[in-house]
A and B are shown apart, each in its own frame.
Chain A
Amino acid sequence: MEIERRGQWLRGVLDLCVLGLLRGRESYGYELAQSLDAAGIGPIQGGTLYPVLLRLQRAGLITAQWREGTGGPARKYYRITDRGRTALSRGGQDWMTFVAPVTAIVTGGVDG
């Protein structure tokens, strides 16, 4: 995949992906990057991820707290807020509404 195009798509949906991962449980930056990679999105560098986390925090969609992990060093754990769940639900809906026709339009070209 073109790196530039992937970067553009990511810019549009990385915040939703982070909210989606935090929906189930709280997590910290490095773990989120690993989860995104494991989900197939590919490697996300810290320089891309942390500004998104800060913006989500500033918007009140997630909260953060420094805590010692189990036997590990102190880490900044992020947790989704009620407003974050609402934003995820709406944004997720918008994404699917957007991506469905895009998929329908380009599918022929892929198959052909």
Chain B
Amino acid sequence: MNADQWLHAFAAELHRRRVATDDVRHVVAEAATHLRDGGGDPWVVFGAPDRYAAVIADSVGTRPAPRPGPVRLHAEGITKRYGRRTVLRDAGLTVRAGQIAAVVGANGCGKSTFLRVCAGLESPDGGQVTVAGRLGYCPQQGGTVDFLLPDEHFVLVGAGRGLARATARRAGRAAARQLGWEPDEPVPARRLSGGTRQKLNLTLSTLSEPDVLLLDEPYQGFDRGTYVNFWDQLLRLRDEGRAIVVVTHLLNQLDRVDLVLDLTPAVPGGRP
């Protein structure tokens, strides 16, 4: 385990102990600076990541345990067929305000379909979805307009909420900065890199301050730093009382979520 891996494990442990997101960032950055200055072995300097995280959590305090609010999303008995193939069979999920749910499962097991059904973009063959409040949806790809600048996207989405142009621009740029992106340059979306376009996509889905946020693997093309910022932001949104559903195939993040829906069929192949 090198210093980076140690720091990564340390950060994960701090999150798991519900140390405030800003505190985690500061403590981890400070430990990284210390290791760079001193060049020591983190296991000698700080000890085991989990034990040091416990000491730090003791010193800075932790957030109160989450008190989930009212039910924001309730999906029940969702069944979806494409021709003779059953993609979803009797899938269900209930997410309350202040919770993050992860939807996991093998490729092709219907994770994106489930999310699209929750978003109301596809109708199921059976079951029903109830959403309480405003809905935000971030697709895996798309969701941006090739010929518009980032600022124009913010204004367009902001207008849907009745925001003035300047207010929408400010809110969009602030949300983008949370992902470590400064969207000041007037570059149309089609000229942005894949990762940056995903940041724009994600920014737009949070801009309307949704009560329910549905995210379909929105981090494709993110570098590691952005990926960390992304999870920090999810935890912040959760603590603000949003209900979040995130499709993911990265199981190492599952200790940071409140609910897990595994769509892997019980029978391999999941024949109808």
A binds B: yes
A-binding segment of B26-34, B166-174, B237-245 = B26-34
Residue B61 contacts which of A33, A50, A58 (CB distance < 8 angstroms)? A58
The answer to whether the Cβ of A85 comes within 8 Å of any Cβ in the partner chain is: no
Within 8 A of A (CB), among B122-171: none
Residues of A within 8 A of B58 (CB): 51
Given contacts A29-B30, A47-B52, A76-B30, contact A54 B46 (CB under 8 A): no
In the complex, chain A residues whose CB is within 8 Å of the CB of B45? 45-47
A47 touches B33 (CB 8 A): no
Interface residues of A in 39-80 (CB under 8 A from B): 45-47, 50-52, 54-55, 58, 64, 66, 73-76
- Asked if A73 and B44 make an inter-chain contact with CB atoms under 8 angstroms apart, the answer reads no
Judge whether B56 is part of the interface by a CB distance below 8 angstroms: yes
Q: Is there contact, CB below 8 Å, between A50 and B44?
A: no
Given contacts A45-B44, A46-B35, A76-B26, 20 further A-B contacts (CB under 8 A): A30-B33, A30-B38, A33-B38, A45-B46, A46-B31, A46-B38, A46-B46, A47-B52, A50-B27, A50-B30, A50-B59, A51-B55, A51-B59, A54-B27, A54-B59, A58-B61, A64-B26, A74-B29, A76-B29, A76-B30
Chain A residues in 8 Å Cβ range of B187? none
Q: How large is the interface on B (under 10, 10 to 19, 20 to 34, 35 or more residues)?
A: 20 to 34
State which residues 11-48 of B face A: CB under 8 Å. Answer: 26-27, 29-31, 33-38, 40, 44-47
Q: Which secondary structure dominates where chain B touches chain A? A: helix
Q: Do residues A58 and B33 form an inter-chain contact, with CB atoms below 8 A?
A: no
B40 surroundings in chain A (CB, below 8 A): 46
- Contacts from A to B (Cβ < 8 Å): 28-30, 33, 45-47, 50-52, 54-55, 58, 64, 66, 73-76
B47 and A47 contact, CB distance less than 8 A: yes
A93 CB to closest chain B CB (Å) equals: 26
Chain B residue nearest to A29 (CB atoms) is B34
Q: Which residue of B lies closest to A58 (CB)?
A: B60
Can you give 15 contacting A-B residue pairs, CB < 8 Å?
Answer: A28-B33, A30-B34, A33-B38, A45-B46, A46-B38, A46-B40, A46-B45, A47-B46, A47-B55, A50-B30, A50-B59, A52-B59, A54-B27, A58-B61, A74-B33
Segment 45-92 of B: residues with Cβ below 8 Å from A: 45-47, 52, 55-56, 58-61
Q: Which residues of B contact A46 (CB under 8 A)?
A: 31, 34-35, 38, 40, 45-46
| Docked-complex contact A75 and B33, CB < 8 angstroms | yes
In the bound complex, CA of A23 to CA of B180 (Å): 36
- When distances are taken between beta carbons in the complex, the residues of chain B under 8 Å from A66 are 26, 29
CA distance A51 to B29 in the complex (A): 14
The residue in chain B whose Cβ has the minimal distance to the Cβ of A75 is: B33
B33's partner among A45, A51, A54, A76 (CB-CB below 8 A) is: A76
Residues of B within 8 A of A51 (CB): 55-56, 58-59
Residue of B nearest to A49 (CB): B34
Smallest Cβ-Cβ distance to B46: which chain A residue: A47
| Residues of chain B within 8 A of A33, CB atoms compared | 38
Residues of B within 8 A of A64 (CB): 26
Question: How near does chain A come to B174, taking the closest CB pair, in angstroms?
Answer: 20
Residues of B near A47 (CB, < 8 A) are 45-47, 52, 55
B19, chain A: closest CB distance, angstroms: 11
- 7 tightest Cβ-Cβ pairs between the two chains A and B: A54-B59, A30-B37, A47-B46, A51-B59, A46-B45, A46-B34, A47-B47
CA distance A52 to B61 in the complex (A): 13
**Nearest Cβ on chain A to B58's Cβ, whole angstroms:** 7
Q: How far is the CA of A28 from the CA of B33 in the complex (A)?
A: 10
